[in-house]
Amino acid sequence: MKYDVYGIGNALVDVQSQVTDETLAQTGFDKGIMTLVDNDKQQALLGQLDADSFNRCAGGSAANTIVGIAEFGGRVAYCGKVGNDSMGEFFLEDMRALGVSIETTPATEDPTGTCAILITPDAQRTMLTNLGASGILAADDIIESEVQQSRYIYIEGYLLCGPATRSAAYRAIELAQKHDVKIAFTASDPFLVNTNRDEIWELVEGPVDMFFCNEEEARSLTGKEDAIDCAQEIHQHCENVALTLGANGSILMHGGQVIPIEGVNVEAVDTTGAGDMYAGGLLYGITNGMDWQQAGKLASHAAARVVSQMGARLQNKFTEEEIKTITE
């Protein structure tokens, strides 16, 4: 296979800034969740903040996961829509510099999507997203040959939020099934599970081979309280389940077995990308010869490292020796 994973998601340029709780409260946005905003509202907000504190990188949920796999040395491709503007050029150059294969026809009228990530002292991130061109990613943007040459496709749940992006997600699923490519899907956000519960269940019960979620998403999906009960309920319908528990680690379900993965004790600075990086570590592991316990350990360490720094990118990559030590 040419690729370990082919990711499909909202192509966004992340603009991160550390803010106080008081500053966040003044914005009027709910803490710790993602809110869709228009371009004018987002630009007005960014204008109120200290531009010197901004950190910029190519982002979006699936893009973060694909970058994580690439940083471990995996072979990856990505499908997302950008605008024909400087932000779009930045996104493509940033991804390609990391070894990600990405081919897309930029939108001519819509600007590149951006996500303002406001990080408070408790490491919580509040995301204000202007989808821009990413919102018009469509079925025709999915490249069949790229899907065919991948071991997994990885789809972010955020694509279910719009008709065009939903069509892209289902086209990718259709092509994966046609070419016997495994399908991984992430719930993305509790609000999305709350509003698309029936559709997500249909995916879990149907084509999805691996389902990623956190504890809150799992509870919303199943109606159960205990994390293991949630994981087992989902596993009755899905071959593989990865349920993250924050600092308490995660639960993997594979072959009818509960595989507990310990958390890694670190001081959290910014939780942006924790779940994305976990997915990257796990997908890299299982597509590169690791068993589920080993891949889970690597994923847990990857998530811990990314929350101990600013941003969704690993500032200090794992060395081959570190990976070997973690997975022994």
| pLDDT, tens digit (0-9, with 9 covering 90-100), for 105-151 | 899 889 999 988 888 898 888 888 899 999 999 999 999 999 999 99
Query: Does residue 113 contact residue 121 with C-beta atoms inside 8 Å?
Result: no
In degrees to the nearest 10, what's the CA dihedral of 103, 151, 74, 263?
120
Please tell me the least confidently modeled range out of 17-21, 192-196, 224-228.
17-21
C-alpha to C-alpha distance for 74 and 68, rounded to whole angstroms: 9
What pLDDT, on a 0 to 100 scale, did the predictor assign at position 52?
58
Structure token pair of residue 13: 């340029």
* Closest C-alpha among 51, 34, 48, 216 to residue 129: 34
In order of 27, 40, 259, the CA distances from 7 in angstroms are 33, 29, 25
- Please report, rounded to a whole number, the percentage of residues in the chain having pLDDT higher than 70: 98
Entry field: residues in the chain: 328
Residue 98 has pLDDT above 80, yes or no: yes
At residue 53 the predicted structure's pLDDT band, cuts being 50, 70 and 90, is low
Please tell me the least confidently modeled range out of 6-10, 77-81, 105-109, 224-228.
105-109
C-alpha to C-alpha distance for 15 and 90, rounded to whole angstroms: 12
Question: Residue 302, Cα to own-chain centre: how many angstroms?
Answer: 13
In order of 238, 260, 307, the CA distances from 206 in angstroms are 8, 25, 33
Please tell me the least confidently modeled range out of 52-56, 123-127, 135-139, 297-301.
52-56
**Which position has the higher pLDDT, 3 or 55?**
3
Average pLDDT over residues 73-101: 95
Query: To which residue do tokens 């594979």 refer?
Result: 254
Q: Which residues contact 150 (CB under 8 A, 6 or more apart)?
A: 1, 2, 3, 4, 5, 6, 77, 181
Q: Which residues contact 78 (CB under 8 A, 6 or more apart)?
A: 6, 7, 8, 9, 11, 62, 63, 66, 95, 100, 101, 102
Residue 221 has pLDDT above 90, yes or no: yes
At residue 157 the predicted structure's pLDDT band, cuts being 50, 70 and 90, is very high
In order of 77, 103, 207, the CA distances from 148 in angstroms are 12, 15, 16
pTM: 0.91
Residue 155 has pLDDT above 90, yes or no: yes
**Which position has the higher pLDDT, 153 or 39?**
153
At residue 34 the predicted structure's pLDDT band, cuts being 50, 70 and 90, is confident
Residue 51 has pLDDT above 60, yes or no: no
Residue 282 has pLDDT above 70, yes or no: yes
Query: Does residue 275 contact residue 212 with C-beta atoms inside 8 Å?
Result: yes
C-alpha to C-alpha distance for 190 and 41, rounded to whole angstroms: 23
Please tell me the least confidently modeled range out of 32-36, 58-62, 91-95.
32-36
Residue 15 has pLDDT above 80, yes or no: yes
**Which position has the higher pLDDT, 45 or 253?**
253
Average pLDDT over residues 271-276: 86
Q: What angle do CA 175, 181, 186 make, to 5 degrees?
A: 90
Query: Within 10 A of 246 (CB to CB), how many other CB atoms are there?
Result: 16
What pLDDT, on a 0 to 100 scale, did the predictor assign at position 45?
77
